[in-house]
Every structure is written in C-alpha cells, then in structure tokens.
Amino acid sequence: MLKKIILLTLFISSLVSTNVMAKWWIFGKSEANVATRYLYLNDVAFNELDEQVTLYRDMLPAGQVVLRGKASSGKSSIGKIEVSLDNKETWQKADKSEDGSFEFSFVPEIDRTYQLYVKILNTSGTSNEVDATYREITVSDSDIDTIIRQALDSMIQAYQVEEPRNFMTWIDDDFAGDYVLLDRAIRKDFTAFDALSLNYTLNSVVSGRNGKVFVTFTFNRQVTSSRSGETFVDQGLTEFIFNVTTAKAKVVAMKNPLIFGLSDAESVATGTVNSDENDENLAVDDDGDLRLGPADGDDDSGSFAAPVNLSVLSYGPYPLLTLQFDAPVYVNAASYRLVVEWSRSTSGPWVLDDEPLMPDPFSGQFGLHARPEVNDPSTIYYRVALERISDNQRSSWSDLVSIP
C-alpha cells in the first residue's frame, strides 16, 4: 500500500510540473462523463474496427446494419441518442431504454459509403466525444463468407474426429492467445468429450483493423462427458477474428464463449462477447469435468470473466497513456485491484506493470506510463485483468491493445 501511495504521489507531482490539466486522468473521470459502456456494429466491438469498415451483404441480419450499445453518464440520466449517417448533416434518433441501452438500424445501399457518428446526450445537455465514434461504412457484395465457412467447417470437422494437426493448420502463427497452449487445450478437450455435435450459423462478417476480419456466429452444441457420462447441451453467440488471404482464412483470436480449447480457456480466449444469448455455456475444470455456467464465467468458485473492449482513450503528452475497458461486474477500489501486463509480442512473454491504481470512483478509465523500453511504443501490447481483494481470485485477461 505504501508503495502505491508513493507512486501515486510522484505521478501527481509529475503532472503538476508539466502543467497538464489531467485531474480526470487520475480519478478516471472525464469532464463530459458521457460515454458508452459497450458499442457494437453488427455484433463486432466498435473499438476493434478501423475507421473504414466493410460489411458484406450476405451477412447482414435481415439486410440491415445494426448498431447497439449501452450509454452511461455517471449519476446523470441519458436523455437521447442520435446517429448520423451523412457526416453530421442530419441526425436520427436511436431506440433507447431507461438503463441506457440503445439500438439503431438501417438498410444500406450496396457500395454506398456512410459516414457514421453517434451522439449521446445526458439530461443536462452534456455530450459524449462524438468525433471518436466516427466510422466510414461500405457494404460489399463480395462472397467472403465462402472462405470463412470453409475455415469453420474444416476446424469443426478436425475437432470432431480428434485430428489436432489438421485443426492447427487453420490457426494463424500470430494467434492472439497462446498457440502452443491452444494445441494442448484441444487435445485435453478430446479427453474430456465424447459424442460431440457442434453446429453454427454465421451472423456477420466485418472487416476490421489491420486487414483483420471479424466473424460472429451463433452455435449449438451437445457433448457427453467422458468422465461422468452426463450429456450437456448449450448454445451462444461468439466471435472469431481471421487473417484472410485469397486462398484461406486463419484464426487470429477467439472470444468467450469458446467452442474450441475449453480445457484452458484463460490461455485461449481473448475477451468475451456481450450477448443475452450467452446464458449458460459449457466449461471444463482443471480435473476435466464438464459443467454449465454463466457466459461471463462468474460462479461459486470465484472466477469471473475478463474485462472487455480494452482500448486506448488517449496517449500523451509522453509518457501518459490512458486506457479504458468495460468491466464484467461492478467494480470499485475497495473490492478489486487492477492488474496490467505488457509485452513486445501478442503471444508474450508478459511483464507485470505495478504502476496502475484502481481509480475511485471507477468509470472504466485508468492511466499509466507508456513503456519506455523500446523506441516505438506502438510495438508494446497491453492486457488487463481484475483481482478480487476478498479472495485474490483473478479474472481472465482482456483483449489486447497497443498504441495506435
């Protein structure tokens, strides 16, 4: 505790000495205090998408582009939410619930570009950072779903007949989890499962950051435990991220709920899909026993889901770095510690950052110093977990983020 107090005191002194007005940075609150707890475009997390986004006509739900999210404004209420599709020339109201959740949809024209912004106003008239929500959306009629289906079908086939070598040919060398541990995890799955049946339906295919393709799909699964003989049935909505070439798609990342590698979910999954469809999903404990539990991983054993939607809120003046994320549970500094690790590679090794403190009150934002170990800070990756103070139980790790 003394070390944390000293670190915080030194950090505050450094801010004062540089005449930076950053009180919100210390306490995790912006002056506007209006933001989104989560935001999805056709079920893909908004912060994972480039400013230029390509959607695919065959994958649009009911032919629509769907924006959904949840807005927050501290102790204030959300007044209204509006969406512009024409570079702020006109605004349309989104459907909003009292808890701040909202949805907006429209039927796009093929090859037309839409310049999208989201404006959130609380009842006192304060707005979110509208420009930060900008996305340029184009809908293509390209047949990319064939390539994606080939990859998923091949992986499921190899998984069901227990052929790990064939399965791993569909995993990218830059897999965001642990490539070696994924291989081990699916082999453990084979030991834990009997009579596996797995089916899926593609929901959306969206181009994202650095040429990645984000794929969301619903699945249903039936499996028999090889230990107890009990049969389990579950279903849910999940997301894969692919690297796609003209010939093949390979998996870069998988999110919870997992359909592969359940025996070591913490090393395999990077993030969790926020969906009402993920009620109870299959999990494998350390002894190889199967169980059904909440999709967020919260159960009597004390484990709970990872923070999601990790992103860079601001960077600078150097070395100040502010990150933000959505917490799977209500968190505060009295109940949870913030755990941050950094690495030069998406696959590790990971180094603990002992600097961050949980701001109180916590608004999803926190600050730390960008790592000075390398000349280019964009080559450093960060991930976040929450640790419960009462029993020292830790969540899974969040998705990864680096400085743009």
Specify the higher pLDDT residue, 76 or 354.
76
CA 323 – CA 381 distance, rounded (Å): 12
For 226, other C-beta atoms within 10 Å of its C-beta total 14
In one letter, which amino acid is 58? D
Higher pLDDT, 75 or 34: 34
Q: pLDDT tier at 170 (50, 70, 90 boundaries)?
A: very high
pLDDT higher than 70, residue 269: yes
Evaluate whether the domain defined by 2-28+305-402 bears CATH number 3.30.1330.10: no
Asked whether the predicted pLDDT for residue 240 surpasses 60, the reply is: yes
Residues 323 and 365: beta-carbon distance below 8 Å: yes
Length of the chain in terms of residues written: 404
What residues does each domain of the chain span?
Answer: 2-28+305-402, 35-140, 144-294
**Quick check: bond before 377 cis, omega within 30?**
no
Structure confidence at residue 376 as a pLDDT band (50, 70, 90): low
Query: Does the structure show a pLDDT above 90 at 277?
Result: no
3-state SS, 25-76, equals HHHCCCCCCCEEEEEEECCEEHHHCCCEEEEEHHHCHHHCEEEEEEEECCCC
- 305 pLDDT tier (thresholds 50, 70, 90): low
Inform me whether the pLDDT recorded for 141 exceeds 90. Answer: no
Predicted confidence band of residue 359 (pLDDT cuts 50, 70, 90): low
Residue 88 confidence (pLDDT) = 96
| The pLDDT of residue 304 | 59
| pLDDT surpasses 60 at 303 | no
What pLDDT, on the 0 to 100 scale, is given for residue 20?
Answer: 34
Give the count of alpha carbons within 13 A of 16, CB side only. Answer: 6
| 331: pLDDT strictly greater than 80 | no
**One-letter identity of residue 165:** R
Is the predicted pLDDT of residue 116 greater than 50, yes or no? Answer: yes
β-pair type (92-93, 101-106): unpaired
Distance between CA atoms of residues 62 and 67, nearest Å: 14
Q: What is the pLDDT of residue 297?
A: 39
In the chain, the N- to C-terminal Cα span, in Å, equals 33
What is the C-alpha separation between 48 and 331, in angstroms, rounded? 24
| Distance in angstroms (rounded) separating the CA atoms of residues 322 and 366 | 6
Q: What are phi and psi of 59, to 5 degrees?
A: -105, 5
The reply to whether 35-140 shares the fold of 2-28+305-402 is yes
Tracing tokens 């293509």 back to the chain, one arrives at 140
How much of the chain, in percent, has pLDDT values that exceed 70? 80
For the domain spanning 144-294, the CATH number is 3.10.450.50
What is the predicted pLDDT for the residue at 171?
A: 95
Q: Which residue would you say has higher pLDDT here, 366 or 187? A: 187
3-state secondary structure the chain: CHHHHHHHHHHHHHHHHCCCCCHHHHHCCCCCCCEEEEEEECCEEHHHCCCEEEEEHHHCHHHCEEEEEEEECCCCCEEEEEEECECCCCCEECEECCCCEEEEEECCCCCCEEEEEEEEEECCCCECCHHHHCEEEEEECCCHHHHHHHHHHHHHHHHHCCCHHHHHCCECCCCCCCHHHHHHHHHHHHHHEEEEEEEEEEEEEEECHHHEEEEEEEEEEEEEECCCCCEEEEEEEEEEEEEECCCCEEEEEEEECCCCCHHHHHHHEEEECCCCCCCEEEEECCCCCEEEEECCCCCCCCCCCCCEEEEEEEECCCCEEEEEEECCCCCCCCCEEEEEEEECCCCCCCEEECCCCCCCCCCCEEEEECCCCCCCHHHCEEEEEEEECCCCCECCCCCCEECC
**Would you state the CATH architecture of domain 35-140?**
Sandwich (2.60)
381-388 β-sheet, strand order: 351-353, 336-343, 381-388, 401-402
What mean pLDDT is predicted for residues 123-140?
A: 89
Q: 382 or 155: whose pLDDT is higher? A: 155
In angstroms, the CA 115 to CA 86 distance is 5
Lowest mean pLDDT among 3-12, 241-250, 394-403: 3-12
